[in-house]
Amino acid sequence: AAVGGARLASRNAAAPLRAAASKGNPIFALTPRGRARGATTRAAAGKTGSGKTLPGNGEDERPFFDSKEAYDVSGYKNFKSKQELRDAALLDRHWYPTNPESRTYQQTLRRSFTLIGVGLHSGEWETVRVCPARAGEGRYFVRVPPGTVPESAADDVEGGAFAREGLTEEETEDMLYEQLRSMLNGEDEDAAERAAELRAKRESAAESPGDFGGDGGEVRIPAAAALAQDDLRLSMRLAVDETNGVITCEHLLSALEAIGVDNARIELEGSGEVPIVDGSAYQFAYECARVGLVPAHADGSTAEVPRMAWRPSEMITVRDGDAFVQFIPDAVTKLTYGVDFTYKSTAIGKQWESWTPTEDGDYVDLIARARTFGTMQDYMAYFRAGYIRGGVEQCALIANGDKFWNPPMILPNENARHKILDLIGDLSLMAEPGMAGVPIGHVLAYKGSHRLHAKFLAALAAAPKEKVPAELWSHGDKAIFQGGAVNTKVPVEPDEYPTG
């Protein structure tokens, strides 16, 4: 599967996920809103008439298989305990990864993931591997020579133990239930192989920071505001010197910040550009959820390290003409962004969007899927000037006059939401190693750019502020799509485009 010219690590999952997104369906949880809470699978209902519910991570409470066979593992050689069977079945029933929970301590990835795709600026194939890192190391980039990342790394899907393409949720649950039941009863000739697959998925080897790098001669490029360059046009660029820099890192950093990956080693093969993928942060967020998060520890320690954030105490404003970015002290983080393209395209027009992470829906639902955007005239000018060489049609929402050239919008106010996505990625550069970067308070921006964001970061760094415990943006005790948020995530038909 290819999205934006990228060969994705989760090839088997990418197509149905994108299809679900285009229909406004939930992404990181399996439960559709239209289905009654607590409904059982058909197979389980036929046996008992009711289902036991077990809480999931970031989703509605879901029924588990309420059958005697599913809890009786006596004499069955493929699972050692009821807990082992339960864990394997709960893991395998997820078609989509669940949204990782926010924690009060620093986290990193349980294992690495790799994406290969085209660079928007370079037009070349770029490889990025995001790896676990130690507590206090923060997020940093390393330019690595070709061949450092094994070609097989992008084939790691760590998916389900049987194919689900084309199956409904109920059919998927029924298939899993029947397979477990037949395995327990010895009816399945491939029971041992099936059980091994489930165990391998549940116990897939975690990786440690020591598995990557460590030659002592590498040059690290910290994801830090001090390294943001001045001559920014379309993307954020960080550099420690003329030969060690990275570009188009804002979407990846946005996902890592919002998902809660405080420490990560990010290896780049190629020109130093992060693949544009589909122009959103969705695939990066998906991969983080797929491989999972674990506590980040310092060398030789198993202690959890508190996760902190900045709370500035004064109002901060930077301007460029009528464009501005402003910080207003507040008790919680709130991000508000306005765009005005009326003079270029009434398809984009004027849009405003505001997101309060601790009160509204989660990042993976409301922000991550918003794609980069622009006008046909601007993109043609960028091509002629050599600023972009990679494909745009698959990785950007392109406006042409009063219409979009490649509709529909996936999210309402998708353009303004993408600006929030970019803002999160750029604000993540405020993090000291292991901290959250987005400050606690209200950040209000209008007609901003990466260049103006960098100017704001410099002002924010110089402002008085204190370290406080970081906010928890995602809670395991609530559904990802809490409230009516999911009902607003529907494709916008052409006649519903904002006209300014």
Strand partners, 62: 54
Pairing between strand 139-143 and 220-222? Answer: antiparallel
- Give the tokens for residue 93: 């029933």
The continuous run of DSSP H or E covering 133 comes out as: none
Q: Would you give the distance in Å from CA 384 to the centre of its chain? A: 32
The continuous run of DSSP H or E covering 383 comes out as: helix 376-385
The neighbour count for residue 425, using CB atoms within 10 Å, is 28
Q: What are the b/e assignments for 302-341, b being 16+ CB within 10 Å?
A: eeebebbbbbbeeebebeeeebbbbbeeeeebbbbbbbbb
φ/ψ region of 354 (left if φ > 0, alpha if ψ in -120 to 50, else beta) reads beta
Measured distance CA(493)–CA(409) in Å, rounded: 8
Q: What is the DSSP string of 61-87?
A: -EEE---HHHH--TT-TT-SSHHHHHH
The answer to whether the Cα torsion of 99, 325, 370, 498 is positive or negative is positive
Pairing between strand 442-446 and 397-400? Answer: unpaired
Q: What is the DSSP string of 179-230?
A: HHHHHHTT--TTHHHHHHHHHHHHTPPP--GGGS---S---EEE--GGGB-S
Asked if 358 and 327 touch (Cβ cutoff 8 Å), the reply is: no
Residue with tokens 């591997």: 129
Catalytically active residues, by annotation: 450
Measured distance CA(396)–CA(410) in Å, rounded: 12
Q: Return the amino acid letter for 419.
A: K
Measured distance CA(346)–CA(349) in Å, rounded: 4
- Tally DSSP H helices, then E strands, for the chain: 12, 23
